[in-house]
Amino acid sequence: MQAVSENKCFGGVQGVYTHASDVCGCDMTFGLFLPAEAADGPVPVLWYLSGLTCTHENAMTKAGAQQWAAEQGIALVFPDTSPRGEGIADDDSYNLGTGAGFYVNATQDPWAANYRMWDYVAEELPRLLVNNVAIDEDRQAICGHSMGGHGALTIAMAYPGRFASVSALAPITHPSTSDWAKKPIHAYLGEGNVDWTRHDACLSLRANGFAGPMLIDQGTKDPFIDSLMPEALAAAITETRHPGTLRMQAGYDHSYFFVSSFIEDHVAFHAEALYA
């Protein structure tokens, strides 16, 4: 775990680090904010999974989450969205390849060699951080935007008891029936080979449930809203009677202006669960 940069931020430290990833077969970069309380011992951690075309840096610099995490004494982790580097498979499409790992473990060539973002986010990076940083592995929450919302929801439901809460901003909710989201997942996993119960938040909620609270925000002017399908997740929450809240935010789009407008609510939401 090598430090690229470390900056004082709201009394804590916003760092950027690289490490050699066995899972992805390349060097990976991530952002980590540690509040001042981390100097005295392990603190709760909130994972933030980013969307298509993003790196670790987008949310780290645009969402404004550090101010609210510092007030709550919570660490923030900003993983990258895909493997990167020379020799790593890529595609001209913005929703496949670099910046578009979709938080799955690819099984199809040429992606299988490096695109194992599920194991990276859910297994390898947490182990690295628990072993090297003052975060409390027993107090974790997870959040994401767009493709990252898809990742946050599906990973949270696949690991019962790990995450105290889950939230998402404009998440891809029902990729098994959304051609826009289905195409890259088929490329990674093979058409006919996808375990949609694992990789579709609506199906996973119905099959596996989630023990903690859930918060979803969706802008009504989001140009991707028909592919994101918030109404499908609302139906799944209703049918399972899950204690989830889905808020349709009038006039908001898909940008980081939308994310930064509601990130304070999301950090406070997770803090309540993490300190319960």
- Does residue 63 carry a pLDDT above 90? yes
Q: Where are the beta strands (DSSP E) in 57-134?
A: 75-79
Backbone angles phi, psi at 201, to 5 degrees: -60, -35
Residue percentage of the chain with pLDDT more than 70: 100
Distance of alpha carbon 122 from alpha carbon 151, whole angstroms: 10
In DSSP terms, which residues pair with 223 in a beta bridge?
Answer: none
Which of 222, 242, 266, 270 is flagged as catalytic?
Answer: 222
Q: Where are the domains of the chain?
A: 2-274
For β-strands 2-9 and 12-21, DSSP reports them as: antiparallel
Confidence of residue 27 (pLDDT cuts 50, 70, 90): very high
Distance, CA of 7 to chain centre: 23
Candidate list 150, 254, 266, 270, residue with the active-site label: 254
Query: Residue holding tokens 């349709």?
Result: 248
Q: Can you give the length of the chain in residues?
A: 276
Q: Which of 21, 50, 146, 167 is catalytic?
A: 146
Q: Which residues contact 31 (CB under 8 A, 6 or more apart)?
A: 14, 15, 16, 17, 56, 57, 59, 60, 76, 77, 78
Q: What is the Cα–Cα distance from 217 to 219, expressed in whole angstroms?
A: 7
CB neighbourhood size of 121 (10 A)? 26
7, 13 Cβ separation under 8 angstroms:
yes
> Is 178 one of the catalytic residues?
no
* Mean pLDDT (whole number) for 4-8: 98
Cβ partners under 8 Å of residue 1, min gap 6: 17, 18, 19, 128, 132
**CA–CA distances in Å: residue 226 to residues 7, 71, 173, 174, 264:** 40, 36, 11, 11, 26
Largest Cα–Cα distance in the chain?
50
| 80-137 pLDDT tens trace | 999 999 999 999 999 999 999 999 999 999 999 999 999 999 999 999 999 999 999 9
Inter-residue contact 54 to 81 (CB < 8 Å): yes
**Distance (Å, whole) CA 55 – CA 49:** 10
Q: Is 254 a catalytic residue?
A: yes
pLDDT surpasses 90 at 253? yes
Q: Report the pLDDT value the prediction gives residue 71, as an integer from 0 to 100.
A: 97
Give yes or no: 265 in active site.
no
Task: Give me the CATH code for the 2-274 domain, please.
Answer: 3.40.50.1820
The alpha carbons of the chain give a radius of gyration, in whole angstroms, of 17
Is the pTM higher than 0.85? The answer reads yes
110: cis peptide before it, omega within 30°? yes
Type of residue at 136: D
Angle (nearest 5°) at CA 220 between 216 and 226: 85
Give the tens place of pLDDT for each residue, 176-205.
998 888 999 999 999 999 999 999 999 999
